[in-house]
Amino acid sequence: MALKHQAPRGTRDLLPGEIERWQWAEARARDVLEHYGYREIRTPIFEEVELFARTSGEASEVVQKEMYRFTDLGERELALRPEGTASVCRAYLQHGMASLGRIHRLWYLGPMFRYGRPQKGRYRQFWQVGAEIIGTPAPGADVEMIALFVDLFDAWGFKDLTVAINSLGMPETRARYAEKLRAWLAPAREQLSADSRQRLEVNPLRVLDTKDPDELKLLGGEGGLGPLPHLIDLLDAESREHFDAVRAGLTALGIAHEIDHGLVRGLDYYTRTAFEVHDRSLGAQSALGGGGRYDGLIEALGGPPTPGVGFSIGLDRVLLMVEEKGFAPEPPAGGIYIVAMEGTRLVAPMLARALRQVYTVDYDLEGRGVNAQMKAAGKGGARAVMLLGDDEWQRGEVVLKELKTGAQQTVPLDGIVEALDRMLMGTTSEMEIP
């Protein structure tokens, strides 16, 4: 029977069993971000359409084809956020954060929305963790960003990543490069897909984003076009100096990186540094994360010229790899299951409530027999059972049984915590049992 309701195409439910890996990955990320001294920021999930159109670029794929737009009951033109950077910059301006300090280091984690064709690693609702440094044009900020980017991957178990890096220069340089690219691609126009031919007219840099294997060959220099022109050859002196300083900073930190002349990023707000990391085993949607500098973005929102640099990482893709490669540790072993008898049925909830201050505790809600309770304890993955036998309870005792070893001991009520700690944690907690 077909179900009447399913999660909308391109969205997923994260169920127990999978969610533990997400929680682990999120906790690792928070840990790294906090050690770097970044502060969390949470912005709305929807914003004015105009915010994204102005920053990501009217002609960008994200704005043209992928935005979830809607008009609310007050006739406002809104969009589910396709990315986080524009919102962070809007919040920075709206709350006058410049007056609170010159440099702000911020991070965020949450769902983003893009209407694309769902496939492995591409969803319509996906999660990003991202970080931004607002307020400094210094190449040192780009270096710190890339170090943080790499250290997040490291914390999830990805070792030996190579960061792809490029410089997109300033808008004038990009315009000159676009012309150069157009001229370079002109002889191969007929071999390009309809999409790429259109991009050639509107924004030739976007042709470099192609996933088409034949087009990739052309871009790789096959088919008589000769080598792809390099944007960094056109950089102004200051941008060149910036790029060299970023690379030197990365080398000093021992961060493996390679220049990728085809790296142009999918959003239009970038200036100078751009970077990404890919895992090709993911298939066509191989970017695990990316970012770069956006020195004109805040000004485009009507603020004073304010430089920024940041990145976001796609958690769905990261989690796909984490699962495939077995990076996540086993979830912590289970807790205690309280097994009650006829005369102690009312004691179980009371004892569970007290013990839940420290331990993970479960018990039977339905008044079932001892055998059913023991079965439930094993099925639920409990490490120990606390048996509230009628006679023992009368004497002020309970029976503790470790399920793995079968080891069993009778413990006086005031010795429960100590015995459980020894059994479960090898330490002693301080708490009072009423």
Residues lying near ligand HAM in the complex (CB under 6 A): 83-85, 114, 116, 121-123, 126, 128, 130, 132, 266-267, 287-292, 294, 310-312, 314, 316-317
Q: Which is nearer to ligand HAM, 46 or 184 (CB)?
A: 46
Residue nearest to ligand HAM (CB): 314
Q: Which is nearer to ligand HAM, 178 or 287 (CB)?
A: 287
Q: How far is the CB of 278 from ligand HAM (least distance, A)?
A: 8
Q: How far is the CB of 266 from ligand HAM (least distance, A)?
A: 5
Q: Give the residue among 305, 95, 269 at the shortest CA–CA distance from 168.
A: 269
Q: Which is nearer to ligand HAM, 137 or 289 (CB)?
A: 289
Determine the residue type at 161. L
By the 10 Å C-beta count (0-12 exposed, 13-18 middle, 19+ buried), 107 is classed as buried
Q: How far is the CB of 123 from ligand HAM (least distance, A)?
A: 4
Q: Between β-strands 125-134 and 308-314, what pairing exists: parallel, antiparallel or unpaired?
A: antiparallel
Q: How far is the CB of 290 from ligand HAM (least distance, A)?
A: 4
Q: Which is nearer to ligand HAM, 132 or 364 (CB)?
A: 132
CB–CB of 21/322 below 8 Å?
A: yes
287-293, strands of its sheet edge to edge: 39-40, 104-113, 125-134, 308-314, 287-293, 271-278, 163-167, 257-259
By the 10 Å C-beta count (0-12 exposed, 13-18 middle, 19+ buried), 103 is classed as exposed
Q: How far is the CB of 270 from ligand HAM (least distance, A)?
A: 7
Q: Which is nearer to ligand HAM, 287 or 338 (CB)?
A: 287
Q: Which is nearer to ligand HAM, 59 or 372 (CB)?
A: 59
Q: How far is the CB of 361 from ligand HAM (least distance, A)?
A: 38
Q: Which residues of 393-415 are buried (b: 16+ CB within 10 A; e: fewer)?
A: beeebbebbebeeeeeeebeeeb
Q: How far is the CB of 90 from ligand HAM (least distance, A)?
A: 13
Q: How far is the CB of 362 from ligand HAM (least distance, A)?
A: 36
Structure tokens at 323: 């699962």
Q: Which is nearer to ligand HAM, 87 or 344 (CB)?
A: 87
Q: Which is nearer to ligand HAM, 41 or 355 (CB)?
A: 41
